[in-house]
């Protein structure tokens, strides 16, 4: 939570959040013209690296397909991979969810079996959207404007699902 007595901490956490959110939109923008799902991870990693902050990417947690089940294939990596995975085709629905840390990439699951913390206690950030690919383009299902505001800086215009 914001702590007005620690403006330096508030600013560093806001920067981590901003970089993570930008990487999310970079990944979604990449999906709009991608040939393969793995291109998303390249865009996410490139965005994070271009921030110059030296942030890490959690590799044990990834995005995923959404279909008859909430979590299914394909895996959506938040970093570059050699195997670019399946082709992007109309009907594909993905949860893109970069998870970025300011310290160690090593994590553990807390006793509640849900909360993930970094081993060194460093800050982490997670942004997520679900995106549908259709014949005319992409639509961000979890954004009120379909992703228009987030995608505009990348020159991508989302197209409503017909």
| Residue that the structure tokens 């993930």 belong to | 116
Neighbour tally for 82: CB within 10 Å: 5
| Per-residue pLDDT at 26 exceeds 90 | yes
pTM comes to 0.95
**Structural domain containing residue 98:** 7-152
| Closest alpha carbon to 133 in 155, 158, 103, 104 | 158
The answer to whether the CB of 130 falls within 8 A of the CB of 72 is no
The CATH number of the domain where 118 resides is what?
3.90.230.10
Residue 1: its pLDDT value, please?
60
The answer to whether the CB of 22 falls within 8 A of the CB of 47 is yes
Q: How many domains does the chain have?
A: 1
Q: What is the mean pLDDT of the chain?
A: 96
Q: Is 31 part of a structural domain of the chain?
A: yes
Q: Is 1 part of a structural domain of the chain?
A: no
Q: Is 157 part of a structural domain of the chain?
A: no
The answer to whether the CB of 78 falls within 8 A of the CB of 58 is yes
Q: Is 162 part of a structural domain of the chain?
A: no
State the virtual CA torsion across 101, 107, 109, 114 in degrees, nearest 10: 20
Q: Is 92 part of a structural domain of the chain?
A: yes
């Amino acid at each position: 939570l914001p702590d007005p007595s620690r403006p330096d901490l508030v600013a560093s956490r806001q920067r981590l959040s901003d970089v993570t959110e930008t990487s999310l939109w970079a990944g979604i923008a990449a999906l709009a013209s991608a040939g393969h799902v793995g291109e998303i991870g390249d865009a996410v990693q490139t965005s994070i690296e271009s921030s110059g902050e030296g942030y890490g990417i959690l590799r044990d947690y990834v995005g995923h397909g959404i279909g008859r089940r909430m979590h299914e294939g394909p895996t959506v990596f938040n970093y570059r991979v050699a195997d670019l995975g399946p082709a992007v085709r109309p009907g594909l629905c993905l949860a893109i969810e970069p998870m970025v840390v300011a310290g160690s990439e090593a994590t553990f699951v807390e006793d509640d079996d849900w909360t993930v913390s970094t081993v060194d206690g460093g800050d982490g950030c997670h942004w997520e959207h679900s995106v549908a690919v259709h014949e005319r383009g992409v639509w961000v299902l979890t954004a009120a404007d379909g992703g228009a505001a987030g995608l505009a800086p990348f020159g991508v215009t989302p197209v409503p699902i017909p």
